[in-house]
Every structure is written in C-alpha cells, then in structure tokens.
Structure 1
Amino acid sequence: MTERYKPNTTVACVIEAQGKYLLVEELIDGEVKYNQPAGHLEAHESIISACSREVYEETGLRLAPQGLVGIYQFSASESLAFVRYTFYVQLDKIITSAPIDPAINALAWLTLEEIRSLSPQLRSPLVIKSINDYLAGKHFPLALLNDDYF
C-alpha cells in the first residue's frame, strides 16, 4: 500500500502599503530566505485566524486579513507539499514593527522590483506569484472560507 498524500496546510499574507510589500527574512538551512508572513495551520484554529496569528508572530502587527488572493498547491520536493491559503491586507501607510518569533531575523518593506531581484532567495515561487495575483485584482471575499465546522 502506498503512503497517502498529505500536503501541509499553510497560510500567508500579502501586506501592501504605498507600493511596497512586507516580507520577513529568515534563515533556512543556513541560507537567508524571504517570504510573506506565513506559517502552518494549527489544531483548533480557523484558516483566517491562522493568518492573523502568523502575521502577528512574524511581524508584530495585529492585522486581520481583508480578503483572499488565492489557494495554491506547491510541491517543494517529492515528499514535501503544501496547500497555501494566501490572504491580503492593504494599509494606507508603512508601519514600523518588529517580529515576535525569534526565527524571523528582520522585516523589509520592498517594491516588486526589489522582490524580483531577490528571486534566488525567495522561500518559494509563491512569493512572486501571490503578489502578481494580488496586483491582477484577485481579491476574493473571506466568506469563501467556511469555518463553521473546524
């Protein structure tokens, strides 16, 4: 019998202010990587509340997602796969903050061009893909996600 496919459920948030996007810098296997604030869904937690929690832990900002950008399936390797719910928050101005999670080295507000220049250091191709989708107007209501039975 083959092992059942069980992708990790993760959340991420595109946070935009004044044409810049908030990324977190972290050390993964000895290499600096950049990502949107993101993490795993925990037990007894809705997908939307997971997003708020991860944003707070990784940025120190208490923000509620305003909408959904998309749901992405990504295979990082033969044995590591993800289903990533990516949300968005649009702010009027850039907010200075600091991460709570010690695994996050720093925060950076970057333009899309600056993020593209970091391509080899992005945690996954979903960083750029989700920003491009956000810019293309993929803004879906949170009501798409039913958490009545979690």
Structure 2
Amino acid sequence: MTFENARLWQPDTTVATIVAHGGKLLMVEEHAEGRLVLNQPAGHLEPDESLLDAALRETREESAWTVRLRHFVGAYQWKAQTGRHYLRFAFAAEPVSHDPALALDQGIVRALWMTPDELHKAHARHRSPLVWRVVADYLAGRRYPLSALSQLA
C-alpha cells in the first residue's frame, strides 16, 4: 500500500450495545443488503461524538430503549466481503426505560428480546460475524471498566 493510499484509508468506526435482561438479549431485526438480519443495536460513530454517547444514541434510535452503559466488552476489527473494514467498539448495558412511541431508525423492522441460544441458532441471519463474537465474549464474562476508554478534548 502506498503512503498516499494509506492516508486515505479509514475503517468504519461503529459501536454496538449488548443489553441483557432476564436471560435475554436486546436485538434488532433490520434490512441490510437485501436481507432481513439480526444485529445488536449498533451504528456509526458521528463526528465529535464520544464512543459512549454513540452507543447510547444508537441503542435508543434502533430499539427505543434508553440504557445505562456498564462495561466495555471489547474492540473488534473485521473486513467484510465488500472490502469495507469495520472497527467495532462493543459495550454491555442494562435497560432503563422503553419508549414504544419512538420511531425506529430507517431500515429497522423491530427490536426483540432473544435468549443467547435463540440468537446462536439464528446465526445464518446475523448481519456479520461480529454479532455472535461480541455476544460470546460477553457471555464468557469479558468486561472492562468504561474508564478503559478515554476521549481527549
């Protein structure tokens, strides 16, 4: 890769939130690339937004749930078949409140609660391999303090 190409290349920075309650995980069913897929509430980091704020915003926009972030689960790098590169920051959260009147983001069909077993069995419908990898790490107890992430002014 030439220096010029390296300067222009940037992965898509995304956040995802694992919301667990009563043995179930909050998932979203959404249209992506002509398929109806499952994903955690997730999306792109916006300019001048912290990773924590992005996780809270995306969870609310995609599921109508307000959550409280509890832990950082991990950072994941993935190259899709399309050639796009993704850098995902995953968080664990607990539900605070739900607003059923809130319109969900474009492309989101619904939010639903699934057991880990139900989600695992639906692996063919996962939006990407990141969906299960993040859940598997969460279920294995991978949790770091939110203070592990820093945002500098």
Same-fold call, TM cutoff 0.5: yes
CA distance in 2, matches of 1:141, 1:51: 15
Of 28, 36, 50 in structure 1, the residue corresponding to residue 32 of structure 2 is 28
Give the alignment's Cα RMSD to 1 decimal: 2.0
In the alignment, structure 1 residue 47 sits paired with structure 2 residue 51:
yes
**Equivalent residue letter for 1:3:** N
Say which structure is richer in strand: 2
In the alignment, structure 1 residue 11 sits paired with structure 2 residue 33:
no
Equivalent pair of 1:57/1:101 in contact (CA under 8 Å): yes
- Counterpart of 2:94 in structure 1 is 90
CA distance in 1, matches of 2:138, 2:121: 19
Equivalent pair of 1:99/1:106 in contact (CA under 8 Å): no
Deviations along 1:4-45, whole A, 9 cap, x unmatched? 231110000011111110110011122101000000000010
Quote the offset at 1:63 in angstroms: 1.6
CA distance in 1, matches of 2:33, 2:133: 23
Secondary structure of 2:117's match?
helix
CA distance in 2, matches of 1:72, 1:102: 25
**Equivalent residue letter for 1:126:** L
TM-score, normalised relative to structure 2: 0.88
Quote the offset at 1:126 in angstroms: 1.2
Equivalent pair of 1:99/1:107 in contact (CA under 8 Å): no
Which ranges of structure 1 fall in alignment gaps of 5 or more residues?
none
Of 57, 61, 72 in structure 1, the residue corresponding to residue 61 of structure 2 is 57
Say which structure is richer in helix: 2
Quote the offset at 1:110 in angstroms: 0.5
Which ranges of structure 2 fall in alignment gaps of 5 or more residues?
none
The 3 A distance-change label for structure 1 pair 29 and 40 is: same
